[in-house]
Amino acid sequence: MAASLDIMRRRRSTGQRTAGRTTPKERLSGLEGFSPLEQRLIATVREILPGPAQTIFDGQIATIKRIERHPKETRFYNWKRGKKPSGCPAKFPLKDDFSLAEVCFSVAGRNYKATLNCVDGRFSYLVIRPSPARIAFSDWDGAPCARLLSDPLETPGPQPIPDVWREFLAGRPHPPRGWTFYDAESAFRLPLDQGEFLVLAQCLGDAFLLHRIDPPTDEDELFHLPWGGDGTPQLLEGDFLDIFRKDFMNPLE
């Protein structure tokens, strides 16, 4: 008995765990699909969406292939690294970066708030406060409280794209692999710490060519928000076409 206790103490002191005991964080690290918490939040939001929006939402959820869980947010993608997107789910008419819904719930007497967010008309990321790492597999204390923060069926008007981009699109360019180009009807707004930007081009959800509209900037000034960057848009000094030629911008290369 004494020997067994010594072994268990050594395992705890070196970070080893006894067989059959895992933490919620460890269970999440090996989970490829949705966690029980994510499933509950998605189902709760679906119930408060208007009918047509439910159909669009269902299609977006069905095509999610990859989930990245970070300390501050969880991101959802309809493609896996090194592979092309599988299917193109319908988008909500509202194309800006917007908060779709908020869900408040409690676990073991502690209150949590989750916000489901969309980018370019698609459910894209989830923010939960405080950190949900320990409750991903826990039951809720009772029924949640949910409310819509935006009408996803709202149809926005044409966006003020800069002349330099409008002239570029007039030549009917073919987007490089992984990129999508947006015109005045399809461009959407992206709020960042540095202001509100208009997305002119997007590479698989994580790289952007931007034009700042608030506070306003020079008509021809464009910004680059790169793949894997720190989230700070970089003012482009040279030809904006250079960003489409950089391999590190395109995860499919």
pLDDT tens-digit map of 227-253: 766 778 989 888 888 888 764 444 433
Are the CB atoms for 181 and 169 separated by under 8 Å? yes
> Per-residue pLDDT for 160 more than 80?
yes
Query: What ranges do the domains of the chain cover?
Result: 22-148, 163-249
Name residue 235's beta-bridge partners.
Answer: 223
Q: In sequence order, which residues have a C-beta less than 8 Å from that of residue 199 and are 6 or more positions away?
A: 120, 182, 187, 188, 189, 190, 208, 209, 210
At 1 the pLDDT is 45
Calpha distance 89→120 (Å, rounded):
12
- To the nearest 10 degrees (0 to 180), the angle between helices 51-62 and 36-48 is 160
> Per-residue pLDDT for 123 more than 70?
yes
Tell me what the mean pLDDT of segment 148-170 comes to. Answer: 90
Tell me what the mean pLDDT of segment 199-214 comes to. Answer: 85
At 97 the pLDDT is 85
At 193 the pLDDT is 81
Tell me what the mean pLDDT of segment 11-22 comes to. Answer: 48
At 249 the pLDDT is 42
Tell me what the mean pLDDT of segment 95-118 comes to. Answer: 94
Tell me what the mean pLDDT of segment 149-175 comes to. Answer: 89
At 16 the pLDDT is 44
Are the CB atoms for 220 and 162 separated by under 8 Å? yes
Calpha distance 84→91 (Å, rounded):
18
Mean confidence (pLDDT) of the chain: 82
* Residue 12 binned pLDDT confidence (cut-offs 50, 70, 90): very low
The total of other beta-carbon atoms located within 10 Å of residue 6's CB is 10
Calpha distance 197→227 (Å, rounded):
17
Tell me what the mean pLDDT of segment 101-126 comes to. Answer: 95
Calpha distance 99→193 (Å, rounded):
16
* Residue 145 binned pLDDT confidence (cut-offs 50, 70, 90): very high
